[in-house]
Copies of this chain bind each other. A is one copy, B any other.
Amino acid sequence: MPDPIILGTIGLDDVKTPFGEVKSALGGSSVYSSIAASFFSEPGIIAPAGQDLPKDYEDFLKSRGISLKGVVKKGKNFRWQGYYEYDMNEAKTINTELNSLADFDPKIPEEYKKAKFVFLANIDPEIQIKVLKQVEDPKFVMIDSMNFWIEIKREKLLEAMSKADAILLNEGEARMLFKTPSLVKAGRQMLDLGVRYAIIKKGEHGSLLFSDNSYFSAPGYPLEDVVDPTGAGDSFAGAIIGYLSKTQDISEKNMRKAIVYGSTIASFNAEGFSVNNLKTLTMQKIEKRFEEFRDLGDF
């Protein structure tokens, strides 16, 4: 039985950065996060895909022990074209083709319904709610989103978020959703939606974890060159849900560790284009960098 299950997109991405470019590369929120999760557990993907999704992309995901039973293939695949300039923190979109994403109406496979750990990656909040309804008795649900949904479906998004145990947003989105420049206030307001954890991703500045009685600040890993930041947020999230599913421990203490594993895998991801760097990543490298994180903040 796959656990965690991950709802999101499968993408074919054209990406250009100051370090080079790739075309029709494997991407999408469910892809990055399930690969990251697969270092700890056996995730299952819920996502629309196109008939044109290359077979070797599917084979690679299967080779990582990822279930594709929840992938619905129809028509052409979702495509994203984007680039990064001088400031690698911000992706610029050239073009988005929704294709198979446009009318995705998820029916999750029987064997996914008993999953205990669920990650609702960035996608229409109505789809996030629909998927969550089909999971029988989830133990821990984490939800992500983006500025697009905050703008056009704010109320639906808040409804979806209030059904989760953890909300994940990047700093710009958190400020935007709660109309405040203060990340501390935004974090508290995320908690006020009734969730146990609020996580704010800050790119090179690391991340913040808020819970009722505590506050945790994880540093960013000091990368001299970010080759391609695409998917860093999703691999961060995937590692978190994968590690929680593996350890079956959602305490605040274990959540801190999960977040550092998330930062670790996200930093490797950003050192290569598409999912390339995750292909050769090993648990040994992950554990080594995880330990480096301890020294980064030690005083």
Q: Which residues of A contact B (CB under 8 A)?
A: 86-89, 181-185, 188, 202, 204-206, 208, 214-220, 222-226, 253, 256-257, 259-260, 293-299
Contact = CB atoms under 8 A, between A and B. Distances in A.
Number of copies: 2
- Which 4 pairs across A and B sit closest by C-beta, in order of nearness? A217-B219, A297-B297, A256-B299, A205-B205
Nearest to A297: B297
Given A205-B206, A216-B297, A297-B297, 20 more contacts: A87-B181, A182-B225, A183-B204, A184-B222, A184-B223, A184-B224, A185-B224, A205-B205, A206-B217, A208-B222, A214-B295, A215-B296, A216-B298, A216-B299, A217-B297, A219-B297, A256-B298, A259-B299, A260-B299, A294-B299
Nearest to A187: B222
Contacts of A225: 182
A299 B224 CA distance: 25
A1 to B, nearest CB: 30
Given A86-B181, A182-B225, A185-B224, A296 B256 contact: no
A202 B199 CA distance: 20
B219 A188 contact: no
A82 to B, nearest CB: 17
